[in-house]
Structure 1
Amino acid sequence: MKTITKLFVSSALALGVSQAVYAESIALVGGRLIDGTAEQPIADSVILIKDGVIEKVGSVGTLEVPNGYRVISTEGHDVLPGLWENHAHIQLTGHADYPHWQAEYADRFVDEVMPAALVQLLLSGVTSVRDLGAPLSDTVEIKEAVAAGEIPSPNLYTSGPFLQWETDEWQSHYRWPIKTPAQAIEKVNQLADAGMEIVKLIDQDDMPREVMETIVQQAHKRGMKVVAHAHKPDEIRLGVEVGVDNFEHTGLTTAPGYPDDVLDALKERTATGIFDGLVFWTPTVEGLYNYETTVQNHEHFDNSCWHRGLKEDTIADIKQSIEKPGHLSYSQLVPLRKPTLKNKIAQLKETGVVMLVGTDVGIPMKFHCQTTWREMATWVYEMDFSPMETIRAATYWPAVMMGVQDQYGSVTPGKVADIIAVNGDVLKYINLLQDVDFVMRKGVVYKQDGQVNEELLPESLRME
């Protein structure tokens, strides 16, 4: 990260950027506030922000703006909490050949790929992200750079490497095989000591039950959340029994739905308490549902937003890898899976699991600057979610899942000032989120009136 750090520091000094920018007092005035809670939207809202924290919330005529606050008009806009991307891969950026990517770009993850992914997410309105699967040393370095203010970034929660029963050699730097309970404790402790907040399981049904159970118990003992793939019925069955917090993907390939015993187990677990009984599920459904549309029309690949922060040869390599979306072996089963998706989503809704918006962004053809809103639009327009519950699945509920709802997830007094705004009625036209006009993170305005404040970014992450 030395290059990025040097660029950012020299840029900041030249522009007079300092920690004072984080202490600016700002009033957002005029827009309709959808605050992320169960409250009704507030028309003509006023939001006072001081030292990066939401101080007061009210409306024009009931809450005056004190002297010394910079007023930013949000008239005509819907104002929301910053979005969460709950299933990201920031070491990936859309390339279709995983072995090639891991072999050729591992030495670029920290200095190029991961910073580019984080800034692209931030500028698209994502102010918190869960990164689920990357080399541990790279993840630690990126987290340190973010914490030091060297990379403008969403609030970053990470798992480090996947934990699983077996791995291929080319995956060994970001996937760890776990064979015994003792090894499970050792590796979970290693992740926790390195600052990871999440443990990521995949193919956990291949593990002996004792090993999987030890992973979950040790993770919870260390205050970590456990997320697990839900591609196979036994992954879910075992996960429910041993206390996995959050299941990922819709899974079950071309099967029409989830087995009855799996649904019954989920219903039983969701009935055990209030917040303690919650089971979370991140279905990552958009890429599957819209794959055939992408094959027919992939003009969105030409949107240069995903080029931000990437070198020309990286961009060219990604482009050639996805030139023929219909040829990718990665996606050949998807047309057979699509007809099952609405039923699976409906089944999950009936069990009482709490859905979270996440996209698997970084996998082939899915770019960090344009994926989260697509997932939300698919929920509303195809999967029969209301706009309000979709917004809460991308704001409030992820904060609850990670246990940080006292700081994030809503635009309410005392919370960190992570706020976005879009021009128009997002409750009627959820796809307005593809063009976020305003992005504030910790009280710092990175985007206003649709224009990025490029001066707040390191030179390597600016657009011409």
Structure 2
Amino acid sequence: MRLLTTLTLLAGLLTGMPSQAENIALVGGRLIDGTAERPLHNSVILVKDGIIEQVGTVDSLPVPAGYRVVSTEGHDVLPGLWESHAHIMLTGHANYTHWQKAYRDRQVDEIMPASLVQLLLAGITSVRDLGAPLEDSVAIKQKLANGEIPGPTLYTSGPFLQAEVQDWQKHYRWEVTTESEAKAAVNRLHDAGMEIVKLIDHDDMPRPVAQAIVDEAHRLNMKVVAHAHKPDEIRVGVEIGIDNFEHTGLTTAPGYPQDVLDTLVERTATGIFDGLLFWTPTMEGLFTYPDLVANPEELDDACWKRGLKDDTIADIKQSIAKPGHLNYMQLTPLRTPTIRNKINQLKQTGVMMLVGTDSGIPMKFHCQSTWQEMAVWVHDMGFDAMDTLRAATYWPAVMMGVQDRYGSVTPGKVADIIAVRGNVLKYMNLVRDVDMVMKDGVIFKHNGIVDEALLSDFGKR
């Protein structure tokens, strides 16, 4: 079954390759290529058949005949961004129970395609989708492979695996209580084409069950991500071999217990390049919530409405009309003051942090979340700008084991490239306005203008 799925997706990729792909030379901008190399001024990037062919400067690399020149003068040129924690089945609605019931049958045709195109036009060319019904994840990956819809390269977990699941959640969360169920669930995800296994409340599982999930996933070359809301989720997760922890804690505790920090330090001290421990803090929405309540104007941004039907838009708007009233967020003002300390603690442990946002949860829209997270990392949390860019480009590719094809603007890699007007190393929030988006060598957005004809062409395939 796995082989048939792979062959089907490969066939889709071949037949669905955008006909607009052409030889392009990106000329003039400052290249920040995603590696540890210094920025390259007056860069030239030759793209052929969707692959980066050569990289140089205007003085060292002449543009050959047959290449269309696209000026990037005055821009910083970057690898396409990764969103390392998205929920494409959600689009900011504040009532999960209502959403799962009302939009269950609209995911593949409306909600997920809208989420993906919003991410793409925001400069996100790769995304990890962490939690959705299995059949919907398979269907949306097939649509992307067939060229029916535009979007980022998509890595999926399918349903969460956990110890107990409420009835209304069972279509996108699976209850796993025995070792045999654990192995069967992981194999079912693998055979359906999922690259990731997602655990939640794994500390509530019998230890052999949680261990069986991780061991079976790793045997099948899948990555395992897990919630880190509770100290025991972290303690157990390190012991069983989790690859990537998610979030910065649900509680109002001022920081992580010292034994948890010691455990993380010990784990990071034993992992070289292939054994890195990754962490996706998803903290901007928590940190800036009081600001959003004070000024909710960003919720009116039209960008999140792209691809959604009028009744869906109206439903989302009414659900977030009073940001300060949402039950989902009532504890957040008490959590907000703890975020800075927790981030500083994580920095000291040596975990490799990735940019991810929980995009899609209440009031976190796919067209806004990633740049907001990056801006808070730099301007509020004191992260180095270059490190932040690499946490949104190079290191996510390493985490997923695809750094040979993605994550940097270097020869031989897939031409996923964005350009931002201005100095992004000084003003990270410039990433909110990505001027150019190239995916697989095809330009979807240039000079801030979306190629609407190209997007509409996907719907006709």
Quote the residue 1:127 is aligned against: 125
How far is the alpha carbon of 1:121 from its aligned partner? 0.1
Deviation at 1:275, TM superposition (A): 1.5
> Which residue number in structure 1 is paired with residue 355 of structure 2?
357
Change (3 A) 1:345 1:18: closer
SS at match of 1:433: helix
Partner of 1:65: 63
Give the aligned partner of residue 36 of structure 2: 38
Counterpart residue type for residue 65 of structure 2: N
CA contact (8 A) 1:252 1:258 kept: no
Quick check: 1:22–1:442 contact (8 Å CA) kept in 2? no
Counterparts in 2 of 1:406 and 1:19: CA distance versus 1, 3 Å:
closer
Matches within 5 A, 1:272-421: 272-421=270-419
Instruction: State the alpha-carbon separation in 1 of the partners of residues 395 and 96 from structure 2.
Output: 32
In structure 2, relative to structure 1, the CA distance for the partners of 1:82 and 1:20 (3 Å cut) is: closer
Q: Secondary structure at the match of 1:188?
A: helix
CA distance in 2, matches of 1:134, 1:18: 24
CA distance in 2, matches of 1:141, 1:276: 32
Report the Cα offset of residue 457 of structure 1.
1.3
Matched residue type, 1:334:
T
Counterparts in 2 of 1:459 and 1:148: CA distance versus 1, 3 Å: closer
In the alignment, structure 2 segments of 5+ residues that lack a partner are: 1-14
* From 248, 268, 271, the counterpart of 1:270: 268
What is residue 240 of structure 2 aligned with on the other side?
A: 242
1:29 partnered with 2:27: yes
Q: 396-405 or 250-259, which moves further after superposition?
A: 250-259
Secondary structure of the corresponding residue to residue 267 of structure 1: helix
Matched residue SS, 1:39? coil
How far off its partner does 1:372 sit?
0.3
Is the aligned partner of 1:423 residue 2:421?
A: yes
State the alpha-carbon separation in 2 of the partners of residues 361 and 302 from structure 1: 17
| Residue 461 of structure 1, CA deviation | 7.8
1:386 Cα deviation (Å)? 1.0
CA distance in 2: counterparts of 1:19 and 1:171, whole angstroms: 36
Tell me, in whole angstroms, the C-alpha distance in 2 between the residues paired with 1:252 and 1:424.
Answer: 36
1:175-215 deviation per Cα after TM superposition (whole angstroms, max 9, x unaligned): 00001000000000000000000000011111011100000
Give runs of aligned pairs for residues 200-239 of structure 1, distance below 5 A. Answer: 200-239=198-237
The verdict on how the C-alpha distance between 1:447 and 1:348 changes in structure 2, with shifts beyond 3 A counting, is same
Deviation at 1:456, TM superposition (A): 1.3
Distance 1:244 1:459, change over 3 A: same
Q: Which amino acid aligns with 2:349?
A: T
State the one-letter code of the partner of 1:315: I
In structure 1, what is the Cα distance between the partners aligned to 2:442 and 2:38?
A: 26
Post-superposition offset of 1:252: 4.8
Q: CA deviation at 1:455?
A: 1.0
1:29-86 alpha-carbon deviations (Å, 9 max, x no partner): 0000000000000000000000000000000111111000000000000000000000
Aligned to 2:165: 167
Q: For 1:389 and 1:19, locate their aligned partners in 2 and report how far apart those are by CA, in whole Å.
A: 33
Between the aligned partners of 1:24 and 1:151, the Cα distance in structure 2 is 19
| SS of the residue 2:236 aligns to | helix
Structure 1 segments of 4+ aligned residues over 6 angstroms from their partners = 459-462
- Which amino acid in structure 1 is aligned with residue 374 of structure 2? M
CA shift for structure 1 position 261: 1.0
Contact 2:17–2:147, Cα closer than 8 Å, also in 1? no
1:87 touches 1:282 (CA, 8 Å); kept in 2? Answer: yes
Shift of 1:19: 4.8
Tell me, in whole angstroms, the C-alpha distance in 1 between the residues paired with 2:34 and 2:144. 25
What secondary structure, in the 3-state scheme, does the structure 2 residue paired with 1:79 have?
Answer: strand
Give the aligned partner of residue 457 of structure 1. Answer: 455
Kept after mapping to 2: 8 A contact 1:309/1:461: no
Q: Distance between the aligned counterparts of 2:248 and 2:459, measured in 1?
A: 34
Deviations 1:149-200 (A, max 9, x none): 1111100000000000001100000000001000000000000000000000
Aligned partners of 1:156 and 1:296: how far apart in 2? Answer: 35
Residue 18 of structure 1 deviates from its aligned partner by 8.4
Change in Cα spacing, 1:163 to 1:92, as seen in structure 2 (3 Å) is same
Which whole-Å CA distance do the structure 1 matches of 2:17 and 2:459 have between them?
20
Q: CA deviation at 1:277?
A: 2.6
Question: Which residue of structure 2 aligns with residue 446 of structure 1?
Answer: 444
In 2, Cα distance between the equivalents of 1:25 and 1:193?
A: 36
2:17 and 2:118 map into 1 onto residues whose CA distance is 23
Structure 1, unaligned runs of 5 or more: 1-16
Task: Work out the CA distance in 2 between the residues paired with 1:226 and 1:291.
Answer: 29
Tell me the equivalent position of 1:7.
Answer: none
Q: State the Cα RMSD in Å.
A: 1.4
Counterpart pick for 1:184 among 182, 185, 202: 182
* 8 A Cα contact 1:119 1:461, kept in partner: no
What is the CA distance between 1:447 and its match in structure 2? 0.3
Corresponding residue for residue 5 of structure 1? none
Deviation at 1:273, TM superposition (A): 3.1
1:56 alignment partner, SS class: strand
Structure 1 pair 393–18 and aligned structure 2 pair: CA distance change class (3 A): closer
Output the CA distance in 1 between the equivalents of 2:292 and 2:310.
Answer: 24
State the shift of 1:274 in Å: 1.4
Task: Give me the whole-angstrom Cα distance separating, in 2, the residues matched to 1:82 and 1:228.
Answer: 25
Q: Is the 8 A contact 2:18 2:147 kept in 1?
A: no
Separation in 1 of the partners of 2:361 and 2:94?
7
Matches of 1:271 and 1:40, distance apart in 2 = 27
